[in-house]
Chain A
Amino acid sequence: MTRTYLGEFEELVLLTVAILNGTAYGLSIAEELKLRTDRSINLSGVHVALYRLEDKGFVNSELGGATAARGGRRKRLFSITAYGKRTLDELRQTRNDLWEAIPNLSFS
């Protein structure tokens, strides 16, 4: 099976979902990413990435966790699937292999 394509931003989001496992939802992911990557992150992009990841089967979701701050609206909480985890592992492995294949690592 050819692996489903995972974009750079999607990969970041997927990793964040793995970090926040259980408490990951749109806003928390966006804030975590902003904190860790120092990029400007907007909510709509995060949401689109999450829905795409869900379509591809990398994450699962369920509704829950309404708070007053959200006007009583529920959150969609995301968690990484086994397939998602395996894909991340494979990606990391591929990268490691590639890094090791570079003949001279001292760039500076």
Chain B
Amino acid sequence: MPQLPHTVLPPVWADRMLRFICPEELHEELLGDLHEQFEHQVAELGEPTARRLYIEQTIRFCRPYFIARRLRGHSKHRSTYSSPLFLDPHMIRNYFKIAWRTILKHKTFSLLNLFGLALSMSAGFLILLLYQDGYNYDKFHKDAELIYRVNTIATRKNGEIEPYATSPKPIGKVIESTFTWVETVTVLKPFDDVIIKNNQRFDFQGKVTDENFLNIFSFSLQSGDAAHALKEPNSIILTSKLSERLFGSKNPINSTIQLGNRDIYKITGILGPNPGKTHFEFDALLSEKSSEDTVDNWANINAAYTYLKVRPKTNAEQAIRAINKYALPNYKNLAIDNRDAHYKFDLQALPDITPGYSIANAMGKGLPSHLLWFLALMGFIVIVSAIFNYSNLTLAKTFSRAKEIGVRKVMGANRSQVLFQIISEGIILALIALIIAIGFVMYFKAELSALQSFQFFDLNVSPTLSSFAYFIIFAILMGAMAGLLPAITISKLNPLRAIQKIENLAMFKRIGLVKILLVVQFAFTMLFLMIITTLHKQIEFAINMDYGFSADQVYSIRLQGIPVEIVRSKFAGIAGVERISSMDIPIGTYSNASAKMKIHETDEYKSVSSYSVDNEFIPGLGLTLISGTNFSSNPSLNTTNKEVIVNELFTEKYQLGNAAESIGKQIFLNDSTTATIKGVVKDFLFKPADDPLKPLLLRNEPSEWKMLNVKIAPHSTEKTVAALQSAWKELAPGYAFRGEFYKTTIETNFAIGKDVNKIITFFTFLSAVIGIMGLLGMTIYSVEKRQREISLRKVLGATKRDIIITLSKGFVLLLLISFCVAIPLGVYVSDLILTNFANRISAGLNIVLPGFILISLLAVITVCSQTIRAALMNPVKSLRSE
């Protein structure tokens, strides 16, 4: 055998790993054998291969046999007594017994821990349920992983990128006819309409599609033939829900229905209830109309949803490249939306659609994935702080158990047994907390379900049987995690020193760590409090700020296609109605109303916010004309030169001079007419407060009016609204009355913001409760530990005040440190949040003070409740035993 120089040695880290895995008494022989083999292999196969083989061999030593033997610390060469394995049934019974006794012995601590664990656990459970619900979309489709949606990625002229769930109509055909890796393609076009039956209107959301849709997706028909249901033009498939609304329990198959005032459709199928949640949203599926236009419009990326099913083993990346290569040349010399620079296409796999990234034109509900992650992060913070709390309290009370552990060790317990004893205490407590947490979940569930955004996102947090299994695993893991840190520290105890002198144990160095954890907890609570204060104040501000129009008593009513004059004349006769104005889209909402115009004939058309209103609009909403005149009561009949009114910002931005100077100037509208500026209205905010003030163009186009603003006299508001409703019913039987006060319109803009705030408030509450309980535990511990010192101080003449101050000083300092960390951070975060609002409050003392006062108050009460008790105690009691 060739002797090699000693320079060739196997990797050191592999040896280290082996030492870590294998029992100590085997190290010599195992390493010896391995090194010898390594030398053989270096000679035979060369160093690199030998090295690789060596690592492979060492990894193979990660066997249960060695790990179990190492944990047991068992060696027949050392002792003839067998020590039971830590997972022996007898030992487990013993762990549970001791754990139960410990829990009962330290009732206050156990209760604090229990409550903290249960609260945070319930938060964890709720998030778990939301996840279960959120990831439950489109699970029932066969071959879901082969189905993709074609998304359009628009790049704006300013460089921003916006994804769309829709794509141009022709792309589906192109993909289907060009690529061999595509199995089928289906295209869905949104088609929302109304079914008229017995003079009653039934609004529905429809999608125009083809027979491939039912082929690709696993929606099943409860009656009708899926293969032919959408073959004929003017066929319609109803969902069972819509069919029930229209026909009750009768099976309407093969009968006909009327859509709007125009088309007759034949019902060719009834869809059964969805087998599970889906991102698709429709009440009916329709086939193409016979007179469908077949113009291939590539510019309209909002036109259709395109889904394709590929053959197995298709590479999505390559597919995307192929599609873009084929589709993009169509955009050469094609005029697209003038805010977009160019488009690109992307494939999104069906399982990634919901929950997925937020995307324009998205179908269906479901929480976006980033919101789920945000919730998970909040839950994580709360759970981690509860676990830390448990660790803190358990560590803090360890001094009373040091003797017990010492005796255990002297009697022959090895480290793993002590470790598991402490961890099992955590697990048992967590399992008890589990029961309480489920109670909390049921309570919070009711609260959450009442939130508007819950309905908006179609969320459901009802636990199923499988979620209970998750809960139990979750609780056991959480208990084990909480018990781990104290278990490691305690099991390290040297038995001799534990029995001798408890106070000097090295473990109390950990108190430094405990203090840091406490600071972190309070800092987080303070941060949360500042964020909710900011959000709350901002939303209040946005609702109550001066929008520049006075809509206190103004009620907006949607006309839904009923002619304006008829409704207006009917309403005008109702007592209590002061004024009626007509317009196209209500102000104060996020809805975009815009028109295209240019100032000079040579310019390009620009988009500008624009509403079509009548002459009553300005006085009706309390707006003031600075200059010029209002529209006349009869819209001008001049079709080539129209009249418009603009706001001050418009004159400023487009440099038309001051208000008086801009009167009479001409602008160009993109329906190839010109318009003369007739008046200038004082600036008012026509969008919600998060949008900045923009230039505004008011036009006078009766054909666009779709709603009425009815100003109601203040003294008999309710009666007048009721009269309006009954008048509406007479005018338009079968049409729902759709009206609300502007105040409500503005408030609904912030409903989601309010819900977010409620959810953060919930987490803040949790983190505050957990923090306070941690503080309480620490105070109890420090008072207990310093009892003798307190008594001596009292005997030597300290007053009660002195003692309270001495005991509380440390905690106040910790609190101050956490404020110092949290306040600057909180102001920074609040500023970030506020930049989303164009009209905003300023972050300053107003957002700091409420949290500061609340936390200080709670902390002082907590600390004082314990220190005062200590100060009042009779010193003789604790000194007598000395």
Contacts and interface: CB of A to CB of B under 8 A. Distances in A.
Interface of A: 25-27, 30, 42-45, 47-48, 51-52, 55, 63, 66-71, 73-76
A51 B66 CA distance: 10
A71 B31 CA distance: 9
Contacts, number: 64
B832 to A, nearest CB: 55
Interface size on B, as a range, is: 20 to 34
Interface of B: 1, 3, 26, 28-37, 39, 57, 60-61, 63, 65-66, 69, 76
B33 A75 contact: yes
Contacts of A30: 37
Nearest to A68: B3
B60 A73 contact: no
Contact of B29 (A44, A45, A69, A75): A75
Contacts of B69: 51
A51 B65 contact: yes
Nearest to B69: A51
A68 B63 CA distance: 28
Question: Binding site of A, secondary structure by majority: helix, strand, loop or mixed?
Answer: helix
A63 B29 contact: yes
A63 B1 CA distance: 23
Contacts of B32: 66, 70-71, 73-75
Given A42-B57, A44-B63, A26 B30 contact: yes
23 contacts: A25-B29, A27-B33, A27-B36, A43-B34, A43-B61, A44-B60, A44-B61, A44-B63, A47-B30, A47-B33, A51-B69, A52-B65, A66-B32, A67-B36, A69-B39, A70-B31, A70-B32, A70-B36, A71-B31, A73-B32, A73-B35, A74-B29, A75-B32
B57 A43 contact: yes
A57 to B, nearest CB: 11
A35 to B, nearest CB: 13
Nearest to A72: B32
A45 B61 CA distance: 8
A98 to B, nearest CB: 31
A51 B37 CA distance: 19
Contacts of A68: 3
A27 B38 CA distance: 11
Given A63-B28, A74-B28, A74-B32, 14 more contacts: A27-B36, A43-B30, A43-B33, A43-B57, A44-B61, A51-B69, A52-B65, A69-B35, A69-B36, A69-B39, A70-B33, A70-B36, A71-B32, A73-B35
A73 B28 contact: yes
B33 A48 contact: no
A19 B296 CA distance: 85
Given A26-B30, A75-B29, A76-B29, A44 B36 contact: no
B846 to A, nearest CB: 67
B35 A44 contact: no
A58 to B, nearest CB: 15
A105 B1 CA distance: 46
A43 B65 CA distance: 14
In the complex, the 8 A-B pairs of residues with the closest C-beta atoms, listed nearest first: A73-B32, A70-B32, A26-B33, A76-B29, A27-B33, A44-B60, A44-B61, A48-B65
B2 to A, nearest CB: 10
